[in-house]
Amino acid sequence: MKSNNYQRGKRGQITLFIIIAIIIVSLVVGVFLLKDVIFQKRLPASLEPVYNTFLSCLEQDTLTGIDVLESQAGYIYLPNFDTGSEYMPFSSQLNVLGNPVPYWYYVSGNNFQKEQVPSKTEMEQQLADFIESKVSACVFDDYYEQGYDIIMQEPEAKVSISDKSIMVNLDMLMEISKAEETAKVSSHEINVNSKLGELYKAALEVYNHEQDTLFLETYGVDVLRLYAPVDGVEITCAPKIWDAEKVFDELENAIEANTLALKVKGGDVQEKADDYFMVDISPKANVRFLTSKNWPHSFEVDPSEESILIASPVGDQPGLGILGFCYVPYHFVYNVNYPVLIQVYDEAVSEIFQFPVAVVIQGNKQREALEGSGAIVGLPELCQHKNTQVSVNTYDLGINPVDAKISFECFGTKCSIGETENGQLSENFPQCVNGYILADAEGYRQGKTLFSTTESGATELFLEKVYELDLNLRLDGRTYTGQAIVNFVSEKYSTSVVYPEQKSVKLSEGDYEIIVQIYRDSQLKLEATSKSQCIDVPNPGLGGILGMTTEKCFDINIPEQTVTNALSGGGSQPYYFVESELAGGRLVEIDATSLPIPSTLEQLQSNQLLFEQNSLIVNVR
In tens, the pLDDT along 329-365 reads 889 999 999 999 999 998 887 899 999 999 999 999 9
Residue 346 inside a domain? The answer is yes
Residue, of 18 and 585, whose pLDDT is higher: 585
153 & 243 share domain: no
State the pLDDT at residue 485.
82
State the pLDDT at residue 576.
94
433 & 502 share domain: no
Euclidean distance between CA atoms 314 and 239, whole angstroms: 9
Of the ranges 29-38, 332-341, 420-429, which one carries the lowest mean pLDDT score? 29-38
52 & 172 share domain: yes
262 & 355 share domain: yes
Q: Which of 150, 165, 194 is the last residue of a domain?
A: 194
Highest mean pLDDT among 12-21, 313-322, 430-439: 430-439
What's the whole-number mean pLDDT along residues 290-301?
Answer: 91
State the pLDDT at residue 324.
36
Q: Which of 437, 463, 489 is the last residue of a domain?
A: 463
> Exposed, middle or buried, 125 (CB in 10 Å: 0-12/13-18/19+)?
middle
State the pLDDT at residue 416.
87
What's the whole-number mean pLDDT along residues 254-283?
Answer: 81
Q: Predicted confidence band at 126 (pLDDT cuts at 50, 70, 90)? A: very high
Residue 374 inside a domain? The answer is no
CATH classification of the domain holding 440: 2.60.40.1120
**4 phi, psi to nearest 5 deg:** -65, -40
Q: How many CB atoms lie within 10 A of CB 518?
A: 25
341 & 486 share domain: no
State the pLDDT at residue 380.
57
Q: Predicted confidence band at 376 (pLDDT cuts at 50, 70, 90)? A: very low
State the pLDDT at residue 535.
62
Residue 92 inside a domain? The answer is no
Indicate if the pLDDT at residue 301 is higher than 60.
yes
State the pLDDT at residue 241.
75
Residue 91 inside a domain? The answer is no
207 & 134 share domain: no
Q: How many CB atoms lie within 10 A of CB 83?
A: 11
Of the ranges 304-318, 385-399, 581-595, which one carries the lowest mean pLDDT score? 304-318
Residue 105 inside a domain? The answer is no
Of the ranges 19-28, 93-102, 224-233, 547-556, which one carries the lowest mean pLDDT score? 547-556
Of the ranges 16-25, 354-363, 488-497, which one carries the lowest mean pLDDT score? 16-25
Euclidean distance between CA atoms 533 and 195, whole angstroms: 64
Do the beta carbons of residue 534 and residue 556 sit within 8 Å?
A: no
pLDDT in tens, 52-105: 999 999 999 999 999 999 999 999 999 988 877 666 788 899 999 888 999 999
Q: Predicted confidence band at 236 (pLDDT cuts at 50, 70, 90)? A: low
Residue, of 335 and 547, whose pLDDT is higher: 335
355 & 433 share domain: no
Euclidean distance between CA atoms 619 and 621, whole angstroms: 6
Indicate if the pLDDT at residue 371 is higher than 60.
no
Q: Determine the Cα angle at 196 with ends 191 and 197, to 5°.
A: 90
Q: Predicted confidence band at 38 (pLDDT cuts at 50, 70, 90)? A: very low
356 & 401 share domain: no
318 & 450 share domain: no
- Among 356, 362, 330, 338, smallest CA distance to 253 is for 338
121 & 170 share domain: yes
Indicate if the pLDDT at residue 243 is higher than 80.
yes
Residue 273 inside a domain? The answer is yes
Euclidean distance between CA atoms 223 and 38, whole angstroms: 65
Residue 309 inside a domain? The answer is yes
Pairing of the two strands 386-396 and 457-463: parallel
What range defines the domain where residue 529 resides? 467-620
* Domain tally, the chain: 5
Contacts 24+ apart (CB under 8 A), 428-432: 428/386, 428/387, 428/388, 428/389, 428/390, 429/386, 429/388, 429/389, 429/390, 429/453, 430/382, 430/383, 430/385, 430/386, 430/387, 430/388, 431/385, 431/387, 431/388, 432/382, 432/408
Q: Which of 165, 194, 223 is the last residue of a domain?
A: 194
203 & 328 share domain: yes
Residue 98 inside a domain? The answer is no
Helix, strand, or coil (residue 229): coil
What's the whole-number mean pLDDT along residues 126-144?
Answer: 93
479 & 440 share domain: no
Indicate if the pLDDT at residue 217 is higher than 90.
yes
Q: Which residues contact 13 (CB under 8 A, 6 or more apart)?
A: none
Pairing of the two strands 308-311 and 240-243: antiparallel
User: Whole-number mean pLDDT of the chain?
Assistant: 83
Euclidean distance between CA atoms 69 and 83, whole angstroms: 22
Of the ranges 9-23, 56-70, 167-181, 210-224, which one carries the lowest mean pLDDT score? 9-23
- Give just the sign of the alpha carbon dihedral 110, 98, 73, 75: positive
